[in-house]
Amino acid sequence: MEKTIQTNEKMKFSSESRSSLMVTTSYLSQNASKALLKTKTLMMSFVLLFLVTTALTAQTTSDQALVLQKCVDLTQLQQFYPKNTDNSFQPLVIMQHAISFPTNISVAHSGDSLLFKSKSEVSSDSAYFLFWKFDILGSNAKVDFIYNYDLLTTVPKVQKVTLELLKTGSVWNVTSSSILGGTL
């Protein structure tokens, strides 16, 4: 008889535990659903923010080419570009270091495509551009670079250039420039 009482008490205890467990499970299930919904909402917000940010800061190759073309076409720099013996311009060199451009970018100077070289490859060149800032955000661009020239002479020189550009329609115009020259 004693065993029967213990079994009944165990069943009674088990029944209460099941009821309590069902309530707890239901509560946890509701909270888990809410947490999952919050997580999904938060993840979607991050994805949307990333897409919007990427769209706003994206630099198209076309815009890169147009802004880079403005840089190499600066009137103030033309006098420093290396020339051949027949007085024609040599191809301009861009060092691919701090900022790298696609090598197939469509930019030219005096009919010659620009040459894109690594840091080790420019050591034998008499001049090269080195860009360290090239930011395009919507219709605004900010560019910082140095133009090193006369590098194979006893007095190498440099022009430090900062440009701000504004895009109107499909045309980029320089709105602000600072060009400082010196020796290395």
pLDDT tens for each residue of 150-164: 999 999 999 999 999
pLDDT at res. 160 = 98
pLDDT at res. 127 = 98
CA angle, corner 103, sides to 76 and 71, nearest 5? 15
- Ordered DSSP codes for 122-169: GGG-S-EEEEEEEEEETTEEEEEEEEEE-TTSSS-EEEEEEEEEEEET
**Residue partners of 89: CB distance under 8 A and separation at least 6:** 81, 82, 83, 109, 110, 112
Distance CA 99, CA 37 (A): 42
Query: How many C-alpha atoms does 92 have within 13 Å on its Cβ side?
Result: 23
pLDDT at res. 184 = 80
pLDDT at res. 45 = 58
pTM of the predicted model over 0.75? no
pLDDT at res. 53 = 42
pLDDT at res. 54 = 43
Tracing tokens 């009674």 back to the chain, one arrives at 12
Residues of the chain with pLDDT below 70 are: 1-29, 31-58
Instruction: Assign domain 61-183 to its CATH architecture.
Output: Roll (3.10)
pLDDT at res. 95 = 98
Domain residue ranges in the chain: 1-57, 61-183
Q: Indicate the SS3 state at residue 117.
A: strand
